[in-house]
Amino acid sequence: MSSASNTPVSVTELNRQVRALLEGSFPILWVSGEISNFKRYGSGHCYFSLKDATAQVRCVMFRQRATLLDFEPREGMQVQARVVVTLYEARGDFQLTVEALRPAGIGGLFEAFEALKKKLDAAGLFDPARKRSLPAFPRAVGIVTSPKAAALRDVLSTLKRRMPGLPVVLYPCAVQGLAAAGEIAAAIRAATARAEVDVLIVCRGGGSLEDLWSFNEEEVALAIAASPIPVVSGVGHETDFTIADFVADVRAPTPTAAAELVSPHRGEWQNRLRLIGARLQRDLLRTVQTRMQQLDGLSRRLRHPGERLAVQRERLDMLQRRLRQLPVRQLSMLGDDLGRARQALAYVKPDLPARHAALGALQARLHQALRRHAERQQARVAQLSGRLTALNPEAVLARGYALIERPDGAMVTRAAALHGGDGLRLRFADGTVAAEVTAADGTQQKLF
């Protein structure tokens, strides 16, 4: 824009040019100061001022960037902001658009955190493929934390509530301070060497980044990665993230949540077992009912031996009729063949003596075949008759036995079915005799 121009410009155009000038003149830079008048709106955007002893500047942090914060900005907090210098055109307000925000004085820790995170990620320690699932029913749970930590009380109370009697082994260590990282790693290695638990909780309560820094040390990360026991990290609050969270097999937002992840809920499993038992009982009842119906069907298919004998008699009669009819049909067919042969002979005027001789031979073979066939059929009839006789209950009567029947013809098979005064009919091989039961108590019976 020319400095000597006399052409007026609108306020909008002026603010637009000033904004472009500011954003083009200043690179993205870090600004330190104290938060003042912080407010987060329902849209997720954050508005506040950064101030020092003699000046202040308005700032805006839009929702996309604000959701990435791993701490909650508070009034009076000293912070470092990564900003773009700009102008809010609608009001002509000079302001800073905040791209990132971190507590002041720990920028080096953030940088160390990011550097170690990238290193371990490149080494494959964050790879989901190497992480293991937690046991559904651990025999014992190990806890790596300080005996004085409030997190330990939360974990123990949660385990007792969810699964009373679940063995717990504490591997004590410091969770804050210069020696804490070494003690945490040593406790994890001790749990691995003793091999007395099925899952391991590494936990402590919330705090500042400095308080949680022991869980961002490479020594702790390597100990977690080397542990053959599945590890659950429950460090800090839900918004706190540490290197231990990324390396562990499972990250829990709080120590209490870690205890819930490793312990089955006794009440829930009892309800589940009750449901399974009820389902098994229903299935068993359904199976029994189905088998009873099948048994009823099979019972209906059973037939009395007398009915089977009647069917066999009918079949024997049919075979006898077919046997008697077979020679007649065969003779008729052979006679027809002989007649056709004679007619053909009459037309062709064959050699009669030779034909007569052949005919005689055929007749002899025919008679011989009929005789053999009749013998076989007679033998089969005799065999079937013998089998029928063997199945005939009346054949037993000839050996001195008798059949006991009621006057209506029903068979009597049990003495308990008789009562004094019952009329009976005794069937022998050569006839029947009427009888009467005079006593049916099993001690004295007289038939006459």
pLDDT tens by residue, the chain, 448 residues: 545 567 898 999 998 999 999 988 899 899 988 888 899 999 999 999 999 888 999 999 999 999 988 788 888 788 899 999 999 988 999 999 999 998 876 556 677 888 899 999 999 999 999 999 999 889 999 999 999 888 899 999 999 998 888 999 999 999 988 899 999 999 999 999 999 999 999 999 887 777 888 999 999 999 999 999 999 999 988 877 899 999 999 999 999 999 999 988 777 777 888 888 888 988 888 888 888 888 878 777 776 777 778 888 888 888 888 888 777 777 778 777 777 877 776 666 656 787 788 888 888 888 898 889 889 999 888 888 888 777 776 667 777 778 888 888 888 888 888 888 888 888 887 888 888 888 766 544 444 4
pLDDT tens track for 214-253? 999 999 999 999 999 999 999 988 877 899 999 999 999 9
Distance, CA of 326 to CA of 318 (rounded, Å): 12
Q: Within this chain, do residues 77 and 147 fall inside the same structural domain, yes or no?
A: no
> 345 and 410: one domain?
no
Q: Tokens for 211? A: 């308080």
Q: Are residues 260 and 140 in the same domain?
A: yes
Q: Are residues 382 and 404 in the same domain?
A: no
| Any domain includes 448 | no
Is 280 contained in some domain? Answer: no
CA 23 to chain centre: 59
Q: In this structure, are 180 and 220 located in the same domain?
A: yes
Q: For residue 120, is it within any domain?
A: no
Q: Is there a domain that residue 296 lies in?
A: no
Domain of residue 331 covers 305-392
Q: Structurally, how many domains does the chain consist of? A: 4
Q: Are residues 381 and 402 in the same domain?
A: no
Q: Return d(Cα 37, Cα 51) in angstroms, integer.
A: 10
How far is it, in rounded angstroms, from Cα 107 to Cα 410? 108
Residues 149, 244 share a domain:
yes
In whole angstroms, give the CA distance from residue 110 to residue 237.
Answer: 18
Give domain status of residue 227, yes or no.
Answer: yes
Is 421 among the domain residues?
yes
pLDDT in tens, 340-389: 877 776 666 656 787 788 888 888 888 898 889 889 999 888 888 888 77
Query: Does 375 lie in the same domain as 408?
Result: no
Judge if 208 and 244 occupy the same domain.
Answer: yes
Domain end call among 264, 281, 314: 264
Q: Tell me, yes or no, whether 249 and 141 share the same domain.
A: yes
- Looking at the fold, whether 237 and 167 belong to one and the same domain comes out as yes
Domain co-membership, 174 together with 224: yes
3-state DSSP percent of the chain in helix, strand and coil, to 5: 50, 20, 30
